[in-house]
Structure 1
Amino acid sequence: MTDTTAQFPFPPTSPEKAHEQMRRIREDRPMTQVQYAFGGKVWAIHRHAAVKQMLEDRRFVRKPFATGAMEVPYPVQFPDFLKTTMQFADPPEHTRLRRLVAKAFTMRRVELLREKTRRFAEDLLDAMERKGPPADLVRDYTLQVPILVLSELLGVPAADRDKFTAWSQVMLATNGLSEQELAEHGAALYTYLVELIAARRAEPADDLLSALATAREKDDSLTDEEILPIAMLLLVAGFDNTANFATQGVLALLRNPDQLRVFLADIDGVAPTLADEVLRHGGFALGNDVEGSAGLVPFVATEDVEIDGQLVRAGECVMADISTANHDENAFADPERFDVTRSPNPHLTLSHGLHHCLGASLARMEMQVIIGSVFRRFPGLALAGEESYATDFLTAGMSSLPVTW
């Protein structure tokens, strides 16, 4: 009988070994019950079809984690504001919130941001070029564009963007600051957003906060108490995660010169498929996904459910092992290969079904612009050292990528 238990971390996150480990795991079993050192357990689902099955099954819910009826079964401390967002909601509450937010978070709004995103990228690249090589691509570029876009999206005035950026970065930090400092920064950001939402409700502008404040469905609308967590969630989902995947995309191209040549030959044409391939191929951590929708936040079974031959008992927790599922040979041809023209690309990084990421179009647009702009400006971009990863941020993304040109 196959052993379906393992100690965390599982699988080990070494990129050099990850593909082979993931393949063996998928062949051996559809899921593994991961045992954490502190005692928590969760089923990690490895196969693409099995992950989709779980995400489509309404018998898996999240509300018990939001209400405190159950503790999240692994050592990730979610901020309280996240537990009031759609990520932790189930129908009918989730359906209502998603419908109202979708009215504000439209593809048209995202596309209107594309040109401003290009200008933000170009301004930052101008500064890099003036300073000269080498540069830290994360600090000088990929981390800066998403926060500028997010500020523009939410309607943060230009004069407030420096302090908004500082508060946002603190909200994602996991250590380095005292509890008092974290509380003070969090309270400052909270107060600022409350006041901004009130201002936009009184005098709507052409930004997301105004659209959320005025979204209507018959007699239903979003309250200020519901809008605030949505704005806070965007900080987690749309800032550092987007920067991390954009940086991974640049690194993947530099490490795959044959794919870089394909991209440079037709940047605009290849950028859309490149963005999805980076989302599929990037990251090796268990449950890694850009929005936290499928992998980071677990589900709990409300009754006994069989998934791909494995029984999950009522009350047991499950999570999607996104990276492993995204390399499933039953869903992707030659899955270990980084292919910038891969299509179709049914990756699960932005989740699936009920919890499919509402910000998916924004994440894709930003990645297309960030990666495309830097290679247009510096077609000879090259690595100038080894990348490093953050250990003090919630998303544990790339903290440094030295480059030259």
Structure 2
Amino acid sequence: MQTPSYPFATDHCLELPPAMTSAREGGAPVLVQPPFGPPAWLVTAYEDARLVLSSPVFGRDRERVGVALDGVAGVIPIDPSSGTLLAADPPDHTRLRRFVFRTFTPRRVEDLRPGTRRIADRLVDEMLDAGPPADLVDGFGLGLPVQVICELLGVPASDRSRFTAWLEALVAGSALSVAEIMASVDEMNAYLGDLAAQRVDAPTDDLIGALVRERIEGDGLTNDEVINLVRALLGAGHETTAAQIPNFVFLLLRGGDYARLVAEPALIPRAVEELLRYVPLVSQGSFSRFVLEDVEVGGVLLRRGDQVLVDIGAANRDAAAFPDAESLDVARETNPHIAFGHGLHRCVGAALARMELQVALEALTTRLPTLRLATPAADLHWDPTRLIRRPDELPLTW
């Protein structure tokens, strides 16, 4: 039987493809052929996803099973997490993650909330001053997370547009070649290296400064590791949240839940969790994992060296884990979603993303209670080649 191509075709980028639902309901991993690399096992069931994401039998370090950089299964020509914390296994992963947790603390994130509110209010002011229609993607959606993460890291405001271009290249999907993607990575690494070098002679209290201190005073963090950690945090803390803001607002407006949050602002934290569960943010399964020893998943024997893609979007709509899983319920009380991953590689920026998304919905529903789409939902364009799903534009009026 022919191996099906993956990602599966869908009429709308925020809906699961019918083939995905069928694969999950089949109850076992399915062998699929992504655009790049060899065939890989696609895991879609919630419990199987948690197993693969947390078990040490599945690694992220391709070198442990002798896989070349261009031999990694995926929907884009190169894994943008390569060389970072996101693609490391213990003991390196444990050591690197310890440095991040030491500097990227919950208190540091919560201390950012008042400043994030000020940024959000300023961006809404700009929308109001310009008047409708306003594109939420290019304005508020992009502006909020890029300003927050750059302030956290200590990136000059004048350079933020450069980061936007570099990060966009990493998630542009198959539209760019390996050479173009690597050129953006090299430019970003060189820039971050310069910022880190400046903090050797002139220490700062931002996150780059803290990591540089760990390199100088700590026990084993190299200069390249500082750069790669910052690059990973930039990618995780910027592009995903920048996409989720317009995704969330689109779904809330389409289903009528935006007005409910205007009337019941106390529901916003629950709504954020439910939207995180409901939105299939990544257009492929999580970055490829490598089977380190023979193991059975969902009744299928996976062999050492096989590659596995976990489709978190599908797992988060598994009826075995979530009652009425295909419905968006902004008041859902129990919500053990895995939108931020699970296990060792669970997103270290989860608290930051939650805070930013809560602040974004608070600012919009409070300041723009009559917000609505300025164009029919059917006319919006969703680029199916992007690694991170979002509309190209989201024109809004009020």
Counterpart in the other structure of 2:393 = 400
Task: Tell me the TM-score normalised to structure 1 length.
Answer: 0.87
1:18-167 alignment to 2 at 5 Å? 18=16, 21-36=19-34, 40-64=38-62, 69-70=67-68, 71-78=71-78, 82-167=81-166
Counterpart in the other structure of 1:281 = 278
How far apart, CA to CA, are the structure 1 residues paired with 2:100 and 2:199? 16
2:262–2:369 contact (8 Å) kept in structure 1: yes
Shift of residue 6, structure 1, vs aligned partner: 4.0
1:158-177 alignment to 2 at 5 Å? 158-170=157-169, 172-173=171-172
Task: Tell me the TM-score normalised to structure 2 length.
Answer: 0.89
How far apart, CA to CA, are the structure 2 residues paired with 1:38 and 1:94? 26
Shift of residue 60, structure 1, vs aligned partner: 0.9
Question: What SS does the aligned partner of 2:32 have?
Answer: strand
Counterpart in the other structure of 2:247 = 248
* Change over 3 Å in CA distance of 1:49–1:142 after alignment to 2: same
Shift of residue 389, structure 1, vs aligned partner: 2.4
Shift of residue 65, structure 1, vs aligned partner: 5.2
1:388–1:399 contact (8 Å) kept in structure 2: yes
* Change over 3 Å in CA distance of 1:213–1:39 after alignment to 2: closer
How far apart, CA to CA, are the structure 2 residues paired with 1:401 and 1:298? 31
The reply on whether 1:271 has 2:271 as its aligned counterpart is no
* Change over 3 Å in CA distance of 1:390–1:29 after alignment to 2: same
Counterpart in the other structure of 2:219 = 220
Q: Given residue 121 of structure 1, which amino acid in structure 2 is its aligned partner?
A: A
Q: Given residue 304 of structure 1, which amino acid in structure 2 is its aligned partner?
A: D
Shift of residue 339, structure 1, vs aligned partner: 1.1
How far apart, CA to CA, are the structure 2 residues paired with 1:399 and 1:205? 37
Question: Structure 1 residues 389-398 or 336-345, which shifts more?
Answer: 389-398
Counterpart in the other structure of 2:11 = 14
Shift of residue 172, structure 1, vs aligned partner: 4.5
Question: What SS does the aligned partner of 1:253 have?
Answer: helix
* Change over 3 Å in CA distance of 1:31–1:173 after alignment to 2: closer
Question: What SS does the aligned partner of 1:189 have?
Answer: helix
CA-atom RMSD in angstroms:
2.8
Q: After superposition, what is the alpha-carbon deviation per residue over 1:267-310, rounded to whole angstroms, capped at 9, x for unaligned?
A: 2x2222211111110127653xxxxxxx3311111221011211
Question: What SS does the aligned partner of 1:230 have?
Answer: helix
Counterpart in the other structure of 1:349 = 339
Shift of residue 125, structure 1, vs aligned partner: 1.2
Query: How many equivalent pairs are there?
Result: 392
How far apart, CA to CA, are the structure 2 residues paired with 1:174 and 1:22? 20
* Change over 3 Å in CA distance of 1:208–1:45 after alignment to 2: same
Gaps of 5+ in 1: 288-294
Shift of residue 396, structure 1, vs aligned partner: 4.4
How far apart, CA to CA, are the structure 2 residues paired with 1:239 and 1:130? 25
1:101–1:215 contact (8 Å) kept in structure 2: no
2:117–2:363 contact (8 Å) kept in structure 1: yes
How far apart, CA to CA, are the structure 2 residues paired with 1:130 and 1:75? 40
Question: Structure 1 residues 361-370 or 152-161, which shifts more?
Answer: 152-161
Counterpart in the other structure of 1:290 = none
Counterpart in the other structure of 2:361 = 371
How far apart, CA to CA, are the structure 2 residues paired with 1:383 and 1:7? 36
1:301–1:316 contact (8 Å) kept in structure 2: yes
Q: After superposition, what is the alpha-carbon deviation per residue over 1:191-213, rounded to whole angstroms, capped at 9, x for unaligned?
A: 32112112223333221111222
Question: What SS does the aligned partner of 2:16 have?
Answer: helix
How far apart, CA to CA, are the structure 2 residues paired with 1:188 and 1:39? 26
2:203–2:209 contact (8 Å) kept in structure 1: yes
2:58–2:290 contact (8 Å) kept in structure 1: yes
* Change over 3 Å in CA distance of 1:68–1:403 after alignment to 2: farther
Identity value in percent: 38
How far apart, CA to CA, are the structure 2 residues paired with 1:47 and 1:208? 37
How far apart, CA to CA, are the structure 1 residues paired with 2:261 and 2:232? 32
Shift of residue 190, structure 1, vs aligned partner: 2.8
* Change over 3 Å in CA distance of 1:345–1:179 after alignment to 2: closer
* Change over 3 Å in CA distance of 1:250–1:233 after alignment to 2: same
1:146–1:366 contact (8 Å) kept in structure 2: yes
Gaps of 5+ in 2: none
Question: Structure 1 residues 32-41 or 99-108, which shifts more?
Answer: 32-41
1:50–1:308 contact (8 Å) kept in structure 2: yes
The reply on whether 1:304 has 2:294 as its aligned counterpart is yes
